Structure 1
Amino acid sequence: MSLSSACEQGVAAGGQASSGAIRLAIMGEGRMGTLVRATAEAARTEADEPAFEVVAQIGFDLSAADDAPAADVLVDFSNVATLPAVAAYVRRTGAALVSGTTGYDEAQMAELRSLAEVAAVLHSGNYSLGVAALRHATELVARELPGFDVEVVETHHNQKVDAPSGTANLLLDAVIDAEEAAGRGEYHPAYGRHGMVGARDPREVGMHSLRGGTVAGVHTVSFFGPDEEVSLTHRATSRQIFVNGALAAARKMAGKSAGWYDFDAVMFA
Structure 2
Amino acid sequence: MLDVILSGANGRMGKVLQGIIAQQTEMQVVAGVDRESFAAEFPTFTQISDVNVSADVIIDFSHFSNVPAVLGFAVEKKMPVVIATTGLEEEQKQALLAASKETAVFFSANMSLGINLLAKAIREITPLLEDEFNIEIVEKHHNLKKDAPSGTALLLADAVNDSVKEKKEYIYGRHGNDLTNPLSELGIHAVRGGTIPGEHTVIYAGPDEIIELNHFALSRNIFANGAVKAAKYINKKTAGLYDMEKLIDEK
Shared fold per TM-score greater than 0.5: yes
Matched, 1:35 2:16: yes
Consecutive unaligned residues of structure 1, counting only runs of 5 or more, are 1-20, 45-50
Consecutive unaligned residues of structure 2, counting only runs of 5 or more, are 37-44
Shift, 1:256, TM fit: 1.1
Asked if structure 1 preserves the Cα contact closer than 8 Å seen for 2:132 and 2:207, the reply is: no
2:40 is aligned to none
Q: In structure 2, what is the Cα distance between the partners aligned to 1:39 and 1:114?
A: 30
Aligned alpha-carbon RMSD (Å): 1.4
In the superposition, the TM-score normalised over structure 1's length comes to 0.85
Q: In structure 1, what is the Cα distance between the partners aligned to 2:112 and 2:62?
A: 17
Matched residue type, 1:24: V
Matched, 1:194 2:183: no
Decide which of 227, 238, 246 is 1:257's aligned counterpart.
Answer: 238
Matched, 1:115 2:115: no
Matched residue type, 1:56: A
Provide, for residues 70-92 of structure 1, a one-character-per-residue CA deviation record: whole Å limited to 9, x for no partner. Answer: 32111112111212321232122
Asked if structure 1 preserves the Cα contact closer than 8 Å seen for 2:5 and 2:31, the reply is: yes
Q: Which has the higher relative contact order, 1 or 2, with Cα contacts under 8 A spaced 6 or more apart? A: 1
Decide which of 84, 87, 92 is 1:100's aligned counterpart.
Answer: 84
Q: In structure 2, what is the Cα distance between the partners aligned to 1:199 and 1:84?
A: 42
Shift, 1:133, TM fit: 1.6
Shift, 1:206, TM fit: 0.4
Decide which of 141, 157, 160 is 2:125's aligned counterpart.
Answer: 141
Aligned residues: 239
Decide which of 61, 65, 72 is 2:48's aligned counterpart.
Answer: 65
Matched residue type, 1:23: D
Matched residue type, 2:238: S
SS at match of 2:164: helix
Provide, for residues 186-205 of structure 1, a one-character-per-residue CA deviation record: whole Å limited to 9, x for no partner. Answer: 21210001223521122111
1:234 is aligned to 215
Shift, 1:63, TM fit: 5.2
SS at match of 1:214: coil
Q: In structure 1, what is the Cα distance between the partners aligned to 2:194 and 2:243?
A: 32
Provide, for residues 111-147 of structure 1, a one-character-per-residue CA deviation record: whole Å limited to 9, x for no partner. Answer: 1211101110010011111112211222222111132
2:3 is aligned to 23
Decide which of 37, 56, 73 is 2:31's aligned counterpart.
Answer: 56
Asked if structure 2 preserves the Cα contact closer than 8 Å seen for 1:27 and 1:58, the reply is: yes
SS at match of 1:209: strand
Identity across matched positions, percent: 39
Asked if structure 2 preserves the Cα contact closer than 8 Å seen for 1:176 and 1:188, the reply is: no
Bigger share in helix:
1
Asked if structure 2 preserves the Cα contact closer than 8 Å seen for 1:97 and 1:120, the reply is: yes
Shift, 1:24, TM fit: 0.3
1:150 is aligned to 135
SS at match of 1:170: helix
In the superposition, the TM-score normalised over structure 2's length comes to 0.91
